[in-house]
Amino acid sequence: MIKDFDSQTLCDKIVEGMQENKAKDIVVLDLREIRSAVCDFFVICSGESSTQVEGISSSVTRITRKDLKEKPWHIEGKTNGEWVLLDYVSVVAHIFYKDVRNFYDLEDLWSDAKRKDIPNLN
């Protein structure tokens, strides 16, 4: 099936899903110019609790399914509520419990990527 949207559109919808559930400190890493990258974008955010991490994950999945008819190819970490990874192949969403995010520090690991910080919504 040919998709009628690109990875940037998918990335924007993932950010929208995160914002809908009040995710904090959303960062988009554009990996398209990095030779060893496994996808086009990483979208990273934090939740204040394991319940919110799960809620953000559900919100992202719901919005991408509703607006783009797209669902994750693979999901990891849904049971522990500390780090949920939604793999859409061209875009990977990382939803962290805030303390776990600091430990893994993906932004530093992929510091060669173009970085866009999304302002927190109230």
Q: What is the pLDDT of residues 19-62, one digit of tens each?
A: 999 999 999 999 999 988 899 999 999 999 999 999 999 999 99
In a domain, 74, yes or no: yes
Q: How confident is the model at residue 63 (pLDDT cuts 50, 70, 90)?
A: very high
Range of the domain at 64: 7-106
In a domain, 112, yes or no: no
Q: How confident is the model at residue 4 (pLDDT cuts 50, 70, 90)?
A: low
- In the chain, where does DSSP find H-type helix? 7-20, 50-68, 98-104, 106-109
In a domain, 102, yes or no: yes
Q: Which residues, at least 6 apart from 4, have a Cβ–Cβ distance to it below 8 Å?
A: none
Q: How confident is the model at residue 100 (pLDDT cuts 50, 70, 90)?
A: very high
Number of domains in the chain: 1
In a domain, 121, yes or no: no
Task: From 41, 6, 15, 10, select the one nearest 120 (Cα to Cα).
Answer: 15
* Model pLDDT, residue 36: 87
In a domain, 115, yes or no: no
In a domain, 23, yes or no: yes
In a domain, 113, yes or no: no
* Model pLDDT, residue 56: 97
Residue 2 has pLDDT above 80, yes or no: no
| Angle (CA) 74 78 83, round 5° | 95
Q: How many residues does the chain have?
A: 122
Residue 72 has pLDDT above 50, yes or no: yes
In a domain, 2, yes or no: no
Q: How confident is the model at residue 80 (pLDDT cuts 50, 70, 90)?
A: confident
Write the CATH number for 60. Answer: 3.30.460.10
